Structure 1
Amino acid sequence: MQKIEFIAEVAERTGISKKEARRVVDAMLDVVSERLQAGEKVVLTGFGTFEVRERQARQGVNPKTRERMTIEATKTPGFSASNSLKLLVRQGKPE
Structure 2
Amino acid sequence: MNKKELTNAIAERTGLSKFESRKVLNAVIEIITEEMVRNGRLLLIGFGTFSVKQKAARKGMNPSTFAPIDIPAKKIASFKPSIYLNFLLNRKKRGRKKKEERE
- For the residue of structure 2 that corresponds to 1:76, the secondary structure is strand
CA RMSD of aligned residues (A): 1.1
- For the residue of structure 2 that corresponds to 1:79, the secondary structure is strand
**2:33 counterpart of 1:42:** no
- For the residue of structure 1 that corresponds to 2:34, the secondary structure is helix
- For the residue of structure 2 that corresponds to 1:9, the secondary structure is helix
Identity of aligned residues (%): 38
* Moved segments of 4+, more than 3 Å: none
Unpaired segments ≥5 residues, structure 2: 93-103
Aligned to 1:62: 62
**2:3 counterpart of 1:12:** no
Q: CA deviation at 1:89?
A: 1.1
Q: Using structure 1 for the length normalisation, give the TM-score.
A: 0.92
Q: CA deviation at 1:79?
A: 0.6
Q: CA deviation at 1:40?
A: 2.7
